[in-house]
Amino acid sequence: MDHERVATVDISKLDEELEVTDLSKSDLYENEMRVLVRFLQAEQAECLGA
């Protein structure tokens, strides 16, 4: 896994991708973590050649 790329994930870009306006901060945080997990899973799969 490219740790440098993972370390530079920009949470503000995740906000833009989610396009949310009326969620509570805890809901927004949970959604951001889901997006981040999907991103990391994709990175891992790419590194494993899947």
Model pLDDT for residues 11-41, shown as the tens digit of each residue: 666 666 666 556 677 787 888 899 999 999 9
What does the block give as tokens for 30? Answer: 């949970």
Would you list the DSSP string of 2-45? -HHHHHT--HHHHHHHHT-SS--HHHHHHHHHHHHHHHHHHHHH
- Please count the structural domains in the chain: 1
Q: According to the model, what pLDDT value does residue 28 have?
A: 79
Domain hosting residue 19, numbered range: 3-48
Q: Can you tell me the distance from the alpha carbon of 15 to that of 8, in angstroms, rounded to the nearest whole number?
A: 15
Please give the residue that has the higher pLDDT: either 4 or 24.
24
User: Whole-structure pTM over 0.75, yes or no?
Assistant: no
Is pLDDT above 80 for 50?
A: no
Residue with tokens 């899947």: 50
Q: According to the model, what pLDDT value does residue 49 have?
A: 82
Angle between helices 11-18 and 25-48 (to 10 degrees): 110
